[in-house]
A and B are shown apart, each in its own frame.
Chain A
Amino acid sequence: MKKFVYTTCEMCTGRCPLMVEVLDGEVKHIWGNPHVQGGQQCCPRGAAAKALLSDNERPQHPLIRDGERGSGKWRQASWDEAYDYIADRLKTAKEKYGAKSILLSDRGGPMTEFERTFLAAIGSPNYFNHHATCSNSVHNAHMSIAGHARNSVDYDYENCKYMVLFGRNIYESIKTTEAKTVMDMQEAGGKMVCVDVRWNYTAAKSDKFFIIRPGTDYALTLALIHQIIKDNLYDPDFVNRWVLGFDEIKRFTIPYTPEWAEKETGIPAKEIIRIAHEAGEAKPAVIFHPGWMTSWFSNDYYLRRAIYTLNALMGSYETKGGIYINKKPGEVGLKYRTLIGQIPKVKEERFDGVGTKFPHLSDQWGLAQMLPHAILNEDPYPIKAYIVMRHDPLASLPDPDLMKKAFAKLDLLVSIDINYSETGWFSDVILPESTFLERTDHVYVRSGSGLTPHLTLIRQAVKPRFDTKGRGEIFKALADRMGVGQFFPYNSPEELVAWQLEGSGYTIESFDATGVIEPSKEQIWYDRKDGIKFNTPSGKIELISSMLEKHNIPSFIPYESPPKPAEGSFRLVTSKVAVHTQGRTTANIGILNELYSENHLWMNTEEARKLGISDGDTVEVSVEGYAKKIGAKLTDHIHPEVVFMLHGFGDTVPLRTKSFGKGVSDIRLQRGLLKTAVGGNCPLTECVVAVKKTAA
């Protein structure tokens, strides 16, 4: 018998709406949800979730370490034994050092309530997620300038007439609906300008492509602001009504002319002027895309603030073809309960310095890069236990060896995952989570649904193949043992959903037909004259941020030219391809692995020739004595100061036989970059590597 189950994809953090075709109790095919995205399109990673399900090289039952940490020696345990093991150690940590000695991190996003509720219920403030190596700088920049999280706004690509991408690889680091809609925009005549340090498939599809000198995007944005103001290309009504600090930014950008920026960026002044004018003509249906994975440089915060400034000048906010604020379910009369909403926020001092050492940064996503410092120095206090929920610090943050040294000091390290993560391999306990096809989670507001707010969820399509459990059951069981089970008022996912929707007029069956509860298809747009909600102290877009000024942090900083790497040295830049995400979910899936099983080092042809390197040669890439061999791939279309490799390779877990040992790990080369830049990001592209030819 065939049936369709509507759910949410969890192969990457894009979380696209899916329709799972189930035949006689087995997954037959995974499609996009046509009721939400207007078609069954689904990217290769989502489609390959069927192969994830049938993969036997993932944890199949709870495991407790049976040897040194990281030795790979495990014993199979029952769930009760594993829960008791964890709860006993958590209780000891809490009694001796307080609940704040317990940390928890995940990958962020809308499906994080179980773990955040658990942590808050036991009394720890120390939730954080992976964004230190992803979008912290753009998130914090937007918080400071508009009072909005990076993802509490979205983009109306469909109606956009002109979009500028700064390193946002929209056609390779893909979200299905985003890629499809941007393609629709291009087909309808919308123009796309791509600025990147290297050519990629997004560049190949753009109307204009500029290779920019690495680290100079800020110079480009300053020159664009300069030109837009100089030639009166901005939206005066929007700026007068909603923007504070226009005169200051005008004065500040006077010296930053396109001619000056040409020398810094390598992009001709006339092209910079052209972008300013083309955007000015297309406004307000213009998007200067602020980026997504933005852990680039120490000054990245100011680049992102400048990009948002460009959008503010264009009047792009809350207009067709621009940036819109995501509307909330309450605005269409949709009421639902959340688990986390039942618990007051824990107000104790955080481990990562957010709110103390870093008063201007958001605690929403925290600072994962502070882990080793906090654990090793007990600063600001001792840390004893760490629960890693579908997050892999040892595979995603720089300096994994330092991280391991810190983890060795913990009394408890738990990994909850569908895969053997590198952190999991170093843990005391691995709790195997059911894949998103095998479990039901809580109801949440779908991000990207901001014009017509709607609820959705991850919903079980098939029974678990192995002795795995859903996160809702795992955290409830741990909460029960910690004496805070009352915050998990359910005995099954169905009971939880019923509790969440109580009094709303909807039930879990309301999701059956389309996968969403969407009271109205009518788009909500706030009034551009009086109705836009910017959550800054002034209620406006603050180019001069009152919050930053209060903390004596400048709202803009002068541009500093980045140093050119020495001869034979290059900046290491990374990105993704469509078939792989952050490596851990997709790398070991056979049908994806066969398309990309290892990464290569992209180099500028001319620079490579100077070093005697030909296409396909083996090269040694090294930093401070740490060296790895990798195949070279030469291209004319990469900046001479840059080398590039895909992120997520160099797997160290032997049980993952398809990805183990394949390719090179970028994070192991990012030595010494476990830093907190002003935007809360690790400055990952400040990594400079030496490259030389070597024997294969």
Chain B
Amino acid sequence: MTSAANTSGANTSVGLPASVDAMLELLTSRGYLAERSLATVTYLSLRMGRPLFLEGEAGVGKTEIAKVLSAALGRKLIRLQCYEGLDVSSAVYEWNSAAQMIAIRMAEAAGDTDRDQLSSDIFADRYMIKRPLLQALEPDVAGPPVLLIDELDRADEAFEAYLLEILSDFQVTIPEFGTVKAPSPPIVIITSNRTREIHDALKRRCLYHWVDYPAAERELAIVKTRVPGISAKLSQQVVRFVQALRNQDFYKSPGVAETIDWATALSELDARSLTPQVVGDTLGALLKYQDDITRMQGDTLQKVLKDATSEN
């Protein structure tokens, strides 16, 4: 559900990039080959301290950029995976009721009857279970963390409304405890696959960017970076094949993540080039709907394959 992970280079904090080019370089150094437009909005979101809202088809690298940013800047990555029914107790905080009850019993056994004292004791920091959003507001030695709110479209509208306060003031109010405000705002990346529309009020607080499928050239570079063992010929064929698939009228076109998966699979199988046999065996790495796979058999497959493997 939720996880907070320390990245390996957590104590080597790096200063924020000073220009769009520096941003591009920073991402590239960690193996993320971004379009210039994506680097520009990321840079802007860091400079302006505004959340970055990334929308696009599944598998185009929206989540990945948060991971790369946290690694490259040496910041902690805090991830909140959204789902329908996500509420305050699993996103922000929860009281450890069992521990609180034990504390009450202990106080009773010790003959302690001061109610006010008791109440301030059991609503203290140590009985609070902090969930991702609260963790993200806490100061960190390496600098403000990267907060990834993943697939916000899966959460329901009520949760979205709750996020408004956090995203504009970077604070949460806890009735028993008071207001927790971040000393400096975290770097916030919000992703959505557009399974439903996110309310304009939330988008207004963010910088919005639509992440598209990469162009052939960039995708080729991505494959070469992410699948180092692959031959030049095969990687070129893979990218051409995938790009051709995206022009077909499929229910779900393959994303970059699928391209990488497929290239890895082919590379594991020691394939030298694409043949009908090997493509047929591994098509499941690219297409995830049976209808799409059925449509890809026969003539369509032959044609796409011929285009992808022809030398020019």
Indicate, yes or no, whether A interacts with B: no
Could you list which residues of chain A lie within 8 angstroms of chain B, going by C-beta atoms? none
Could you list which residues of chain B lie within 8 angstroms of chain A, going by C-beta atoms? none
